[in-house]
Amino acid sequence: MAYEELSKNIIKNVGGKDNVASVVHCTTRLRFKLKDEKKADDSAMKATDGVISVVKSGGQYQVVIGNNVADVYDTLIKVGGFSDGGSVPDDYVDKSNMSILDKFIDLISSIFTPILGPLCATGMIKGFNAMFVAFGWLKATDGTYIILNSIGDSIFYFLPVILGITAARKFKVDIIVGAAIGAALCYPSIVALNSSKTTLFTLFKGTLFQSPIHTTFLKIPVIMMNYTSSVIPIIAAVWFASKVQKLAKKWIPEVVKTFLVPFTVLLITVPITFLVIGPISTWLGNAISAICVGVYNISPVLAGILMGAFWQVFVMFGVHWSFTAISMANFARMGYDPIVSLMFGASFAQTGVVLAMIFQTRNEKTKSIAIPAFISGIFGVTEPAIYGLTLPRKKPFILSCIGGAIGGAILGFFKSKLWSMAGMGVFLLPGFIGKNGFDKPLYGAIIAMVVSFIAGVILQFLFGKKSVDEPLDAEAVETAGATSIQADSMSHSNATVVEPEISYNQATKLSSPLTGTIVPLADIKDEVFSSGAMGQGVAIEPSVGEVIAPADATVQMVFPTGHAVGLTTDDGAEILIHIGMDTVQLDGKGFETLVKKGDHVTAGQLLVKFDIDTIKDAKLEVTTPIIITNTKNYHEVKTVATGKINQKDELLELK
């Protein structure tokens, strides 16, 4: 089974199957909710082959996989034996330490994640249909146009029904009941009442909440709203339904629960929604939309600069989900969204930086990561570029944010707006085609896309070249992994970062733990080691299958599979000896570990025996990196030998 070993390692590193409350996936990430996040092994997860990074945000433990995340997810579900598509009751998740912002992000992402793909797909169809009319290929009265438009409008028009299902899953309501509540909001007679010419009387006359009353329920006036394409009313209604359902299940006899529970929930929830929940939540949504658009109208260019510059940061922290809710509110209130459209140039700026890096790098491993990252970036999937290339090197990421700000300024200047939730990257372009067809705002979006991309290329060529093949310092790698991003860090994201003062270790020398041939670290095939991401050091192509201690040390880590050992010498050097490349796949076959964590060993003591032929028969590399993982605590890590080397020969000098 493809990705079986990777799935096993991921499950192990999140604390085992029993620690998983639920797991879903987005474009590039496995999104876990863990019962106890402290049980997850961040370091082991980051070191797992096939894992790009780890992000903790929004109450989720996010494992960044890349473009093949869907296949990994399918395998993970089978290997882990997770039922119900990887989702289990939310009650198992400990939310006591989640901030209000985290809970909001968790709520929005849980409800919207399942529908974003189809929603973007229908938005693209709607955009292309508008383009066909603009080109004169179709008329608005043609059957082809009407059928295509029905696809384009289907999800958004009946959004309360779709969100009724996803919200029901989130709030643990019967999903058919959730759909029924949404369907009631979109019922044709209800929609017709909102535009009825018959007005019984007017409530709140002369205020912002003035409401003509067209009908009553049990003689109680009903403030009618247009609930098609709405978001907040159905989410609030299903939340209310979850409370009613809980009480109904408590009091209704078991023998009649099957039909009396949904009967009770619908009979109470739907009228209450039309009488109270719907009007209040609609006013709230309109107010949020109006405030955001009002801020935008003060200076569209400034708004564009800020959104373009920080959009990728928002995505990293999961805060972009807040803008998804705002965007939906804008679509429902105005039929278009001018806010999220401002981020359109950000992915192209990132992609432009990556293209420049492809031409700048001399490292084949960097290039092998950059080329697929560039391709996926064109289509709006930038996580491989961010976590694998630009963020670890810092400057390229900053340059991409500047390029995104330039694109955002152009979008603001042209007042480009989205008329539908289309795809990502180039596939978002049809979403800018509105009722006016090919107009100035659309051309502005095209210009922003091109300029952002070119800006990314030029900025990287001018200012980012030196950072491409430089060793990655420990702080940058930690930032890329984002393992230090905790839920409460978002509330301090504007704080000034103070660089810690480095305390350098005393100079020391290390002998060779292997017999074989020395290989420069930059020449090995694994990008994590060759780039210096784990630290400086050297590699050895072993001719004898034995690893000995290079100095007196304490064993800090021994992988269960025996393929890696971590030591801390008595002089303070932290050493990782990783036997071969991808040898974790052997699951311990061919390895014999002779020490355990916590043991104190002396220089020359045998640590691990391994069979070179077993590794080679599995078509795996036997080249073994010896890494000083606390390189930052030394002025220099110098290899003092070349060519052939024997165990106990002097290998590294740490100054």
Write the Ramachandran bin of 59: left for phi over 0, alpha for psi from -120 to 50, otherwise beta: left
Cβ atoms 35, 614 nearer than 8 A? no
Which amino acid is located at 626 in the chain?
A: I
- Return d(Cα 203, Cα 195) in angstroms, integer: 16
| Strand 574-578 relative to strand 624-628, pairing | antiparallel
CA angle 393, 396, 398 (to 5 degrees): 105
- Return d(Cα 192, Cα 547) in angstroms, integer: 79
Nearest to 115 by CA among 203, 235, 19: 235
In the numeric block, which tokens belong to residue 71?
């296949």
237: number of Cβ within 10 Å: 29
Burial class (CB in 10 A: 0-12, 13-18, 19+), 297: exposed
456: number of Cβ within 10 Å: 35
Burial class (CB in 10 A: 0-12, 13-18, 19+), 136: exposed
Scan for tokens 């072993």, then name that residue: 542
* Active-site residue, from 26, 120, 186, 292: 26
Cβ atoms 606, 478 nearer than 8 A? no
Give one DSSP letter per residue of 147-177, joined into a string: HHHHHHHHHHHTHHHHHHHHHHHHHT--HHH
- Return d(Cα 374, Cα 344) in angstroms, integer: 16
Which amino acid is located at 537 in the chain?
A: G
For this structure, is 120 an active site residue? no
**How is residue 490 annotated by DSSP?**
G
- Return d(Cα 392, Cα 52) in angstroms, integer: 11
- Exposure string over 4-16, b if 16+ CB within 10 A, otherwise e: ebbbbbbbebbbe
Helix boundaries (H) for 273-299: 278-298
Cβ atoms 292, 307 nearer than 8 A? no
Secondary structure class of 218 (helix, strand, coil): coil
- Return d(Cα 164, Cα 238) in angstroms, integer: 7
| Strand 650-654 relative to strand 637-639, pairing | antiparallel
Cβ atoms 615, 558 nearer than 8 A? no
Burial class (CB in 10 A: 0-12, 13-18, 19+), 568: middle
Query: Hey, CA dihedral for 459, 461, 462, 464, is it positive or negative?
Result: positive
Cβ atoms 593, 561 nearer than 8 A? no
Residue 32 phi/psi, 5-degree rounding, is -90, 145
| Strand 53-57 relative to strand 60-64, pairing | antiparallel
- Return the active site residues: 26
